[in-house]
Structures are given as C-alpha cells and as structure tokens.
Amino acid sequence: MTNEEETPMQVVVYEGEGAAVLPSSTRYDVLTRLLDRGYAVSRAAGNGQGAVEPRAGETERLLVLGDFPDGAPDLEDSSGEVEIDTLTITDLGGEEVLELVEARREGRPMNQPGAWKPWFPVIDYDRCTNCMQCLSFCLFDVYGVDAEQKIQVQNNDNCKTNCPACSRVCPEVAIMFPKYSGGPINGDKVDPKDLEREKMKVDISSLLGGDIYSSLRNRSEEAKSRFSKERSPDKALTERKKCLIKLQGDGLIPAEVLENLPSPEEIQRRADEAAAKAKAALDAQAH
C-alpha cells in the first residue's frame, strides 16, 4: 500500500477541443493497461462535454494524454494546487503509453495490483448491533472501537488475506469481504436463512484456545482423526471445537492462516487481550 497521505497521479485521456479522437482500439488498450497497472483514469471526450477539471482534494498531479495535432497545450490549474502535465500519444499503442506514463511518475510510490490484495472486513452498520463478537474473535487486532465505543475496522492491513472467518461469527451477518466469492459475505443481500446459518452460539471469548489451534495447525490425517475423536466433558471445549471445525470445514480459515499461527501461548495472550478490549467497550456502553 502507498502512504495514506499520497494521492497517486491521475491520468486523463483527452479527446476534446484541440485534440484528435483516438482510434477506438487504442483508447481501450490505453485505458485497460493504465487501470490494470493501478492508475485512476478519466476519459474526457469531445462534442462539447470535454472536461479537464482537477477536482478539489482529488489529486496533486494530473497527466493529460492526447493526440494533439497542433502540439500539446500548456495547462495550468487555476487554484495552483494541481500540477498539470501533458503527453502526446499520437500513433502509440497501449504498452508504449503505459511506459511513458510510468516514466512521468518519476518513481513516486504507486499501488501495484497483485502485490497486495485489498482484503479486510467492511461493516454494514445498518445491520451491526455493536455486540463486539468480532472484536473478541479476531486475534490480529483488526477491530477496535471509536470514541463512542462503536465497533470499527482499525487495522485493515493486519487482516489475513482470504480469511473471512470473523464474518461467520457475526450474529447479524454485518461483516462483508467484498472480494469474497460467495454471498452474503461478498455484499450480496442477506436472506433470513443466512441469519440462521451464520448464527453460531459459541463462547467466542474462549474459542481460540491454543490446544485446538495447534491441533488444527498440524493438518496431518492422524492429527485430524485424533482431533475429531477427542471427547471432553467440558462443554466450552466442545463448542470451541465445533466452531473451529465448522469454520475450517467451510473453507473459512485458509491453510496459510492455520500454518502461520503464532505459538499457543501467544494465541492465548492475544485472545485474552481481544476479550478484554471487547469487555471494556461493552462495559462503557452499559454506563
């Protein structure tokens, strides 16, 4: 990810007054290559609707691409806040244009599709009841509360890619992962059936005991069968197992996450810490 303060360079494909209309295939090629490389691109077309207007707060640097038969115009932002640069792309293909744009970026940081998958929980506050189950469940400090003790996603970088497990512990189906394959986790509408299915009445705060996790981490068949045959009179333990097996069986805890878990002691420490944070938030709400 780039620094939060940085606004990546914005590119405009300009075909208004003073520029020729690009061949359709070139325009499409330029657009796809720039977008797939991580740039934001606008298309400013002809017929009186051309617009190269840097909008307030949108960017610090605008690069205007076009086929300018009479030479690229000198452009200036009236507010003086945005640096505007032009690039003539007459007869160039998408790949060449991308190379030139990359050169104009002059090494400024840039997001790179493929290098990081934006994977983090997104809360639907129309559904959320602020119960803090997600905060108690997550071992990676993704959740926190704001000044009003309202649940928030605070450290989305900490979230484990492809692990949507916390969405399954939310009793209200309020947690989405937009890049997940299936609904309602991907943002699809929530069915009353989903509410029943997603509800897992488990003691979340004691869910993540080290014994269970280390068993799951060792994914050998032997360990799995020992695990499944294990009997315990302790109800909480049985519940914990049921929940974790369900999450794992549903493919909701990816192998990489299980394989890279910290030590059982560290897991216990984090689980205690998360539970304490949730309890403090719930206590503060009650007062």
Whether 161 contacts 119, CB under 8 Å: yes
User: Under the criterion CB under 6 A, does residue 205 sit at the interface with ligand SF4?
Assistant: no
Residue 47, contacted partner among other proteins, ligand SF4, none, CB below 5-8 A by kind: other proteins
User: Under the criterion CB under 6 A, does residue 145 sit at the interface with ligand SF4?
Assistant: no
Single-letter code of the amino acid located at 256: E
* Sites for ligand SF4 among residues 30-59 (CB under 6 A): none
Residue 43, contacted partner among ligand SF4, other proteins, none, CB below 5-8 A by kind: other proteins
Residue 134, contacted partner among ligand SF4, other proteins, none, CB below 5-8 A by kind: ligand SF4
d(CA 246, CA 124): 24
Residue 79, contacted partner among ligand SF4, other proteins, none, CB below 5-8 A by kind: none
Q: How far is the CB of 208 from ligand SF4 (least distance, A)?
A: 15
Residue 258, contacted partner among other proteins, ligand SF4, none, CB below 5-8 A by kind: none
Handedness of CA 161, 167, 169, 174 (dihedral sign): positive
- Residue 217's alpha-carbon distances to 41, 177, 206, 212, 263, in angstroms, are 44, 24, 18, 9, 10
Q: Quick one: which segment of 36-44, 139-147, 192-200, 266-274 binds other proteins (CB under 8 A)?
A: 36-44
Q: Which of 25, 112, 129, 263 is the binder for ligand SF4 (CB under 6 A)? A: 129
User: Under the criterion CB under 8 A, does residue 135 sit at the interface with other proteins?
Assistant: no
d(CA 284, CA 258): 33
Whether 137 contacts 151, CB under 8 Å: no
d(CA 285, CA 287): 6
Sorted by sequence, the CB contacts under 8 Å of residue 148 that are 6+ apart come out as none
For residues 159 to 198, the per-residue mask of contacts with ligand SF4, x marking binding by CB under 6 A and - elsewhere, is -----------x-x-xx--xx-------------------
d(CA 169, CA 136): 10
Give the H/E segment covering residue 31.
helix 24-37
Query: What region, left, alpha or beta, does residue 68 occupy, with left being phi > 0 and alpha being psi -120 to 50 degrees?
Result: beta
d(CA 144, CA 138): 10
User: Under the criterion CB under 6 A, does residue 151 sit at the interface with ligand SF4?
Assistant: yes
Residue 170, contacted partner among ligand SF4, other proteins, none, CB below 5-8 A by kind: ligand SF4
* Sites for other proteins among residues 54-93 (CB under 8 A): 55-59, 73, 75, 78
What is the β-pairing status of strands 122-123 and 175-176? antiparallel
Q: Quick one: which segment of 22-30, 65-73, 130-138, 252-260 binds ligand SF4 (CB under 6 A)?
A: 130-138
Strand partners, 14: 44
Q: What is the number of H-type helices and E-type strands within the chain?
A: 10, 8
User: Under the criterion CB under 8 A, does residue 251 sit at the interface with other proteins?
Assistant: no
Q: Which residues bind other proteins (CB under 8 A)?
A: 1-2, 4, 7, 10, 14, 16-18, 24, 27-28, 31-32, 35-53, 55-59, 73, 75, 78, 111, 113-114, 116-120, 122-125, 153, 156-157, 176, 178-179, 181, 183, 186-189
